[in-house]
Structure 1
């Protein structure tokens, strides 16, 4: 059998195990477009594999399918609420107040979970009596919505939009040594003793916040919406599978338990023909094109004036053309070599051979698409996983970084970084090498996602994949009871040895004194 026919044969074998299409529910309530893009790509992929898919999210998909069925339950009002959240963006990204920012983020997620379960479009669905073969939930500090799997008596599959991290590791019992794995995604790669100390303290602080605030609040949400809610900790550790939006070629190599499967890149589609104006613009760029987009969480039009002017002057000095995702009709001071667009087909643009640099905020979608198409990056990380992604990209030398909060965010710094990336061939060579690693897999990422979802359905939850660690209380998981026992035993042994030696010494002295008296 040829290597090219192997994936097709494996998919055919996987289909043999399911004689009828499965009914699969996806729950992706976080009102951010990038999260929806991933969730929608996964659910559409399952539908295209012949399954009957229902997706709960703040957005609606009206596209057509060649196979399967896809229906939406839209969380109306969520997107508008997120617009209000964006007004507090500075607080969410304030490095001087990390605890306040995290508490606010947790509060937002708790509100999202509560609003999802109480949404007028969801309540009738919960009471509909429908049956599902699997429930896929995005793992994003939204533990209460895992109740959908319990309610519909279906295996729970978790999807993690940012790859392995503390949220997903804890849920499936995946080891995450603090000695070399950052607990928070925006913490530096662990290199020093100080890093390890701070990483451990962060871990302890967040575990305390989870057990004394986040988890009890999720329990309250369950009790409010359900007359007979499940045990929260059984629900929390109930996952049969965890699909990870990551791949070892672009992320830190870490342990993965059998329930965790990497499918990073599953959302990337073959490039489509561009609109004529864009196609002509890119085709005629003899010196190449720099593509600039800050994604959906931070909009270019909201950039502070000083940063905006620095970018304008830096781009204006380039001989390359620049495509800029700009959310308004006019950009004051727009250089002649800059073309604006409120929206661009990013994947199709990055696939064009004349695009030679991507200036991005460094979200995992953008990072993945850039590596997939072999385009080096200038990363302007803002918050969350973006800092971690930027560090890894710099480590593998296919990117340079200018943090959004960097006090040296200036025309001079931007121009230096742009010129280095555009004229030093090592960045392009490295990203093409990483791209080859990213593509070298036995199955495509979407084929692997479909296979494992079907595997869990075929094997009624695939409980044999679960590690025993998920059923252990935290003190047993970390061997704290054993460590305490050994410590107490060691102290008692030393104390008894001390008493024995002291008694022996005293007896010897007494014996010597008696001999002296007799003499």
Structure 2
């Protein structure tokens, strides 16, 4: 029945039908007020989240985004509240580079993460604009999208009776999965911070379980009380605040940057959604200078990036020399994400850049190898490499190594080379000690015959999703 027929109809029996129809049309036009909070000053975290925020804004919802990275250029329907914090400030606080952190005992690193997490949340919630938002009674939110280390903001969800979505820009840690009741499968899922293989023996399972228990105890007795204290101190106008833990476990949904085709098999509740590849877009045309390099490289290109947080110039000298020697022996051109203007002793086949359009480079099909950190926010995590390609694990998060091992064991075309055999360590600094071994391994991978794969070359993880899937 059309609106015209309702308007023209004179029969009273159609009256309620018209009312119901108009009510349905009106409710379909309503948008939600959404608050998104990200306290970690890591650009890659925003790269992962931005497509979701932009899509929500495009669909007519009003978003307020608290983060260190405002939208550039500004996006319609998104209001940014910028946090004045950078990764440099936390580098100074910990007084060590990320390379040096790789050598820290994971038990010590656990204590550090608890402290730094509370510091990040306190820095965010104490920002004057954020305080104005908390004390204001003129703003109503229907949904809170909370990132890692943002538990002190959960009081806002209580104030506005808003639903809570937890978004995790990496693979799922056990403590984060607890938000919606995911089981902590210590017996067969290695903790993301431990350097242990996928197929754990009894001692490794015991260590994994002990470490998981320690994480739970530290969270319960140290981290959560700290977050509770911060929430109460900076949310004084919110009455009857529940505990942080109660609010955390009232989360409706958890979004994780993972995908079943490259991750480990693990039990997940129905409201834990894997959205790995959400940030991957179709490749665009490259800038002229990069296009020239790729077009003129007869042997292909190697793309080398340590991500947005690791400053490559802080690399220990022996590891830097190892890379230099290795790259100088290769026939391929190398695109190296380098944070300085110059590099001493740079080989002729190495091209430096403080920033590269990584998604567009990987989408050209000209990249023979993607040498990167193991962050799941990297486009190379989900762009399929050619069957002769190589992905080098360079991070301290072992879960990504496990994912690559799983991917290769099930017929995938990723190869994780530990560059200092037989240590089999996933930490990048142990990966890169033997430059000649690296050069030989890389050459071998580049020139080997095609590796059988469950995917066709050129397929990416995003393309394997059911068409029309919306997040």
TM-score, length-scaled by structure 2: 0.84
The aligned residue for residue 156 of structure 1 is 164
Q: 1:443 deviation in Å?
A: 3.8
Q: 1:252 deviation in Å?
A: 0.7
Q: Deviations over 1:301-324 (max 9, x none)?
A: 111111111111111111111111
Matches within 5 A, 1:24-39: 24-39=34-49
Question: Where does structure 1 lack aligned partners over 5 or more consecutive residues?
Answer: 1-14, 450-519
Q: Could you tell me whether the CA contact under 8 Å between 1:361 and 1:382 is conserved in 2?
A: yes
Q: Distance in 2 between matches of 1:104 and 1:358?
A: 31
Matching residue within 57, 68, 92 for 2:67: 57
Name the CA shift for 1:136/1:408 in 2 (closer, same or farther; >3 Å). Answer: closer
Secondary structure at 1:42's aligned position in 2?
helix
The aligned residue for residue 219 of structure 1 is 228
Q: Deviations over 1:436-479 (max 9, x none)?
A: 565222246xx521xxxxxxxxxxxxxxxxxxxxxxxxxxxxxx
Q: Distance in 1 between matches of 2:26 and 2:448?
A: 51
25-34 vs 181-190, greater mean Cα deviation: 181-190
The aligned residue for residue 393 of structure 1 is 404
Matching residue within 163, 166, 173 for 1:165: 173
The aligned residue for residue 382 of structure 2 is 371
Q: Could you tell me whether the CA contact under 8 Å between 2:70 and 2:82 is conserved in 1?
A: yes
Name the CA shift for 1:172/1:162 in 2 (closer, same or farther; >3 Å). Answer: same
Q: Distance in 2 between matches of 1:371 and 1:90?
A: 24
The aligned residue for residue 411 of structure 2 is none
The aligned residue for residue 484 of structure 1 is none
Dislocated runs of 4+, deviation >4 Å: 426-438
Q: Could you tell me whether the CA contact under 8 Å between 2:311 and 2:339 is conserved in 1?
A: yes
The aligned residue for residue 415 of structure 1 is 439
Secondary structure at 2:81's aligned position in 1?
strand
Secondary structure at 1:76's aligned position in 2?
coil
Name the CA shift for 1:408/1:301 in 2 (closer, same or farther; >3 Å). Answer: closer
Aligned length: 428
Q: Distance in 1 between matches of 2:406 and 2:77?
A: 43
Name the CA shift for 1:233/1:378 in 2 (closer, same or farther; >3 Å). Answer: closer
Q: Distance in 2 between matches of 1:166 and 1:210?
A: 11
Q: Distance in 2 between matches of 1:405 and 1:352?
A: 29
Q: 1:91 deviation in Å?
A: 8.6
Name the CA shift for 1:279/1:429 in 2 (closer, same or farther; >3 Å). Answer: farther
The aligned residue for residue 19 of structure 2 is none
Q: Say whether 1:75 aligns with 2:87.
A: no
Q: Could you tell me whether the CA contact under 8 Å between 2:69 and 2:82 is conserved in 1?
A: yes
Q: Which has the larger radius of gyration?
A: 1
Matching residue within 272, 275, 287 for 2:284: 272
Name the CA shift for 1:94/1:361 in 2 (closer, same or farther; >3 Å). Answer: closer
Q: Could you tell me whether the CA contact under 8 Å between 2:47 and 2:377 is conserved in 1?
A: no
Q: 1:221 deviation in Å?
A: 1.3
Name the CA shift for 1:321/1:408 in 2 (closer, same or farther; >3 Å). Answer: closer
Q: Distance in 1 between matches of 2:86 and 2:149?
A: 17
Higher helix share: 1
Secondary structure at 1:309's aligned position in 2?
helix
Name the CA shift for 1:95/1:62 in 2 (closer, same or farther; >3 Å). Answer: closer
Q: Could you tell me whether the CA contact under 8 Å between 2:191 and 2:399 is conserved in 1?
A: no
The aligned residue for residue 359 of structure 1 is 371
Secondary structure at 2:470's aligned position in 1?
helix
Q: Say whether 1:242 aligns with 2:254.
A: yes
The aligned residue for residue 292 of structure 1 is 304
Q: Distance in 2 between matches of 1:179 and 1:301?
A: 39
Q: Say whether 1:101 aligns with 2:121.
A: no
Q: 1:196 deviation in Å?
A: 1.3
Name the CA shift for 1:183/1:79 in 2 (closer, same or farther; >3 Å). Answer: closer
Q: Deviations over 1:340-393 (max 9, x none)?
A: 111100000001121111011111122x5343243533324232x3x2212321
Name the CA shift for 1:79/1:200 in 2 (closer, same or farther; >3 Å). Answer: closer
Q: Distance in 1 between matches of 2:454 and 2:95?
A: 38
188-197 vs 209-218, greater mean Cα deviation: 188-197
The aligned residue for residue 8 of structure 1 is none
Q: Distance in 2 between matches of 1:303 and 1:98?
A: 20
Q: Distance in 2 between matches of 1:286 and 1:175?
A: 50
